[in-house]
Amino acid sequence: MFFQKDNKTFEINMDNIPQHIAIIMDGNGRWAKKRALPRKAGHKAGAETLEKIIGHCSKLGVKHLTVYAFSTENWKRSQEEVDAIMDLLRQYLNVYFKRFLKDNIRLRVIGDRSRLAQDIQESIMENENRTKDKDGLCVHIALNYGGRDELCRAVKKAAKDVETGNLKAEEITEDVIASYLDTADVPDPELVIRTSGEERISNFLLWQVAYSEFYFTDALWPDFTDKMLEEAIYDYQNRERRFGGR
C-alpha cells in the first residue's frame, strides 16, 4: 500500500503491519478551544476520528487496537466533561459500534468497569458478548483504566490465589503476571501512538509497553487521519527492533 508525503511516495509493507497498535487519543480539548467550542465538542469530534481509525485499522489487517478513552485520573475533570464523555461512550456502544457488526470487529473493554454507570456496564457486556466470535480487528477500549491500577488489581487476584492454594509464590513468572492483567490473552502492542505533541505514557499499559515502539505526532486527535496512521506504521516498519539484544 502506498501513501504520499511531501511529493514523495512511500510504501507500507503489508506483511509487516503491527498486530497490536495502542493509541493515546490526546488533544480533544485543545482542538475545541482553537474553535471556541466547548470541550465536549472536541470529544465528539474525537469519537468520530476513532470510528474512522477503527475502520482503517480493520482494512489494514491490524488485529488489536487499544485506545485510551478514559483514565482513572479523568474523574478529576468537571462533572460536565465527565458526563459528556460518558454520554459519548453510551452512543458509541449503542450506535457507532452496531455499524461495525458487518465488518467482523470485536469489542472488549479494559480497566475497572465497576465504577461506570450500571447501564454502561450492561451495554459493554452486551457488546462484548455479541461480538465475541468475531475474528477480525479487536478494539479494546480503556475505560477507568490506569496501568498502576491494573497492576494492583492483578496483584490482589494473584494474592487471593496464593491464599487459596491455587498459585504458589515460587511459580510466579512474567507470563503468570501477564495472565492476571486485563490484557491476559492479548499480544503486547508493537506500536504506541500519542497525538497532540505530548510525549508521556500517562499510566497507559505500563507492563505491556516494555518493548513497544513509540510514535508521537503534533496532530490533535480529532485531526488525526488515516494517512497519519499509515505514516506511523511506515515509521515503525523502518525502525530496527532489538528487544534488548544486538
> Which residues form the interface with ligand FPP (CB under 6 A)?
25-30, 43, 46-47, 50, 69, 74, 85, 88-89, 92, 141, 196, 221
Minimum separation from the CB atom of position 71 to ligand FPP (A): 7
Minimum separation from the CB atom of position 85 to ligand FPP (A): 6
- Of the pair 90, 156, the CB lying nearest ligand FPP is at 90
Q: Which helix (H) or strand (E) holds 34?
A: helix 28-34
Q: What is the 3-state secondary structure (H, E, C) of 137-199?
A: CEEEEEEEECHHHHHHHHHHHHHHHHHCCCCCHHHCCHHHHHHCCCCCCCCCCCEEEECCCCC
Residue 99 CA to residue 111 CA, distance in Å, equals 24
C-alpha cell at 185: 490473552
Query: Length of the chain in residues, anyone?
Result: 246
Strands (E), the chain: 2-5, 8-11, 20-24, 64-71, 106-110, 138-145, 191-194, 213-216
Residue 155 CA to residue 101 CA, distance in Å, equals 35
- For ligand FPP, which residue has the nearest CB? 29
Quick one: how far is CA 122 from the chain centroid?
20
Annotated active-site residue 74? The verdict is yes
- Of the pair 18, 27, the CB lying nearest ligand FPP is at 27
- Of the pair 17, 69, the CB lying nearest ligand FPP is at 69
Minimum separation from the CB atom of position 119 to ligand FPP (A): 14
- Marked catalytic residue, from 13, 15, 74, 104: 74
Mark residue 169 as left, alpha or beta (left: phi above 0; alpha: psi -120 to 50; beta: remaining).
alpha
Cα torsion 82, 90, 217, 187: sign: positive
- Marked catalytic residue, from 13, 15, 16, 26: 26
Q: List active site positions.
A: 26, 74
